[in-house]
Amino acid sequence: MMSQKPSAIVTGAGSGIGRAIALRLAADGYAVLVNDLSEDRALSVASEIVEAGGAATAVAGDVARPEDVAVVHAAAVAAHGDVALLVNNAGIAHQAAFEHLEVGDFDRMFAVHVRGNFLMTKAVLPSMLARGEGVIINIASQLGQIGGIELVHYSGAKAAIIGMTKSLAREVSSRGVRVNAVAPGPINTPLVQGLSAEWQERKKRELPLGRFGEPDEVAATVAFLASPAASLFVGQTLGPNSGDVML
Ligand code: NAP
């Protein structure tokens, strides 16, 4: 029988921030479609949710591939009903000096972050507009606001997500769909733990708060933006970033 809980999709939810968002939304009463590239990781997070008494379904898929996006969306609707909340979180990290940046690195970065965001949003938006309600939350990065050395492709993709968030919010908010972005600073996830120890130590010293964020602190921002308490937030980019960027 179909669950009565509102239906949410979280992409890239097998690890790090996406996992924390999926767990938090499930605890807040959503039935969560846990997507990840890796089926094992998606299943493991979905099991964690179910074992804690929540509702979740795992579906592997690449958000940059239209056929995978169709499968993820159809599975969410079949298991949990029309999608009330989409969190576009899937992302990859890659760093290279501009002279060494290959077109393939650039294309993959934009495929996962920008094309993936576009395809997932295209999938869920028609039914949100038909129902006159829905929430879309895009995980950007503070590097999309301030740029980053050896991160032209990553920062560019994240800046594109912020621009897409603002444009779509202008287009659809009067029809009941709220679109916002979250631009985290450094967060303790495999993505950041893969960077050099020197970089991590230097970065911590620079932060007003003196520490990286934890994934559940980003999830708290997402939970807020998803909630009716955020009814006036439209096209905004919130920054859980340890004070690194103050706008
Ligand atoms: P993470 O631990 O590496 O998690 C990202 C997840 O997304 C991984 O499980 C990854 O799978 C999955 N994924 C990658 N490409 C995908 C695709 N095409 N389709 C579906 N899933 C895909 O990274 P994270 O730190 O939690 O990052 C989550 C999001 O936050 C990203 O958008 C990232 O850019 C953003 N962010 C992170 C930080 C930070 O400091 N950690 C700061 C600002 C923004 P694989 O591991 O198999 O690739």
pLDDT of 177-186, one tens digit each? Answer: 999 999 999 9
Q: Is residue 245 part of a domain?
A: no
With a cut of 70, say whether residue 198 has pLDDT above it: yes
Q: How many domains does the chain have?
A: 1
Q: Which residues are catalytic?
A: 154
Q: Is residue 55 part of a domain?
A: yes
- Pick from 49, 47, 121, 124: nearest CA to 81: 124
Q: Is residue 146 part of a domain?
A: yes
How would you class 246 by CB atoms within 10 Å of its CB: exposed for 0-12, middle for 13-18, buried for 19 or more?
exposed
Q: Is residue 1 part of a domain?
A: no
Q: Is residue 47 part of a domain?
A: yes
pLDDT of 46-68, one tens digit each? Answer: 999 999 999 999 999 999 999 99
* Ramachandran bin of 22, using left for φ above 0, alpha for ψ from -120 to 50, beta for the remaining angles: alpha
The count of other CB atoms within 10 Å of the CB of residue 209 is 12
pLDDT confidence of residue 3: 58
> Which residues span the domain enclosing 63?
7-238
The confidence band for 196, taking pLDDT boundaries of 50, 70 and 90, is: confident
pLDDT of 1-11, one tens digit each? Answer: 555 999 999 99
pLDDT confidence of residue 194: 83
Q: Which helix (H) or strand (E) holds 52?
A: none
Is 71 a pocket residue for ligand 1 (Cβ < 6 Å)? no
Q: Is residue 104 part of a domain?
A: yes
Q: Which of 86, 92, 216 to mutate to test the pocket of ligand 1 (most atoms within 8 A of CB)?
A: 92
Mean pLDDT of 199-210: 95
pLDDT confidence of residue 39: 98
pLDDT of 87-132, one tens digit each? Answer: 999 999 999 999 999 999 999 999 999 999 999 999 999 999 999 9
Q: Is residue 246 part of a domain?
A: no
Is 28 a pocket residue for ligand 1 (Cβ < 6 Å)? no
Which pair of structure tokens corresponds to residue 202? 């230097």
Q: What is the pTM of this model?
A: 0.98
Q: Is residue 26 part of a domain?
A: yes
| Average pLDDT of the chain to the nearest whole number | 97
Is 189 a pocket residue for ligand 1 (Cβ < 6 Å)? yes
Q: What CATH number is attached to the domain comprising 226?
A: 3.40.50.720
Mean pLDDT of 181-195: 93
How would you class 133 by CB atoms within 10 Å of its CB: exposed for 0-12, middle for 13-18, buried for 19 or more?
middle
With a cut of 70, say whether residue 85 has pLDDT above it: yes
pLDDT of 130-149, one tens digit each? Answer: 999 999 999 999 999 999 99
pLDDT confidence of residue 199: 87
The count of other CB atoms within 10 Å of the CB of residue 149 is 10
> In this prediction, what percent of the chain has a pLDDT beyond 90?
95
With a cut of 70, say whether residue 197 has pLDDT above it: yes
CA distance 220 to 209: 17
> In this prediction, what percent of the chain has a pLDDT beyond 70?
99
Give 149-153 contacts, CB < 8 A, sequence gap 24+: 150/95, 150/96, 150/97, 150/98, 151/95, 152/98, 152/101, 152/106, 153/94, 153/96, 153/101, 153/105, 153/106, 153/109, 153/110
Looking at the CA of residue 65, tell me the nearest atom of ligand 1. 18
Looking at the CA of residue 154, tell me the nearest atom of ligand 1. 34
pLDDT confidence of residue 195: 82
pLDDT confidence of residue 207: 98
Is 240 a pocket residue for ligand 1 (Cβ < 6 Å)? no
pLDDT confidence of residue 61: 98
